[in-house]
Amino acid sequence: MVSRARRLGMTRKLPYSPGDIFAVPLRDHGYALGVVARSNGKGIALGYFFGPRVESLEDLPQVRRFEADSAIKVCRFGDLGLMREKWPLVGRVESWDPAQWSVPEFCRDGNIRVVYDGDSLEVSHEERLNPPECQLLPQDGLEGAGFVEIKLTRLLGE
């Protein structure tokens, strides 16, 4: 059942915010780590995801620097894993600066550049692009929590 707030397009109180670091359980063992870069408050977030695989949450290093450029995956995703606390929060990016964690351009259908608004995470602009250029951008789409877990498991395979 859809909540009244969601039906009316209202934002909801979130248990996370941009700059939070969270753990994504992988399908075989261990965790990948992610950083919330943006959220629209209506169920969609933008995340940067990192390796290497962490075997347990108790093994998390006390100090770990995260930089957007070293992400193994960037995507828009449904925030159900965060909302249901299946993806636990494990820290915050030190000196959080949203300008360092931009909303990237994405590639759709192999030849369309998609630009999203940084607040609403809705499409603000689309244009055709040469396929080789488009392939350099992250793949566009809205990924469910389970899909993100599967993709990260594959990316961090042993």
For the chain, the three-class secondary structure string (H helix, E strand, C coil) is CCCHHHHCCCCCCCCCCCCEEEEEECCCCCEEEEEEEEECCCCEEEEEEEEEEECCHHHCCCCCCCCHHHCCEEEEEECHHHHCCCCCEEEECCCCCHHHCCCCCEEECCCEEEEECCCCCCEEEEEECCHHHHCCCCECCEECHHHHHHHHHHHCCC
pLDDT 10s digits, 50-91:
999 999 998 776 657 889 999 999 999 999 999 999 999 999
The strand pair at 73-78 and 142-143 is best described as parallel
How many folded domains does the chain comprise? 1
91-145 pLDDT, tens digit per residue, is 999 899 999 999 999 999 999 999 999 999 999 999 999 999 999 999 999 999 9
14 in a structural domain: yes
What is the pTM assigned to this prediction?
0.89
Instruction: Tell me whether residue 104 is in a domain.
Output: no
Inside any domain, residue 103: no
> Has residue 63 been placed in a domain?
yes
Domain, as residue range, for 89: 4-97+141-155
Q: Tell me whether residue 151 is in a domain.
A: yes
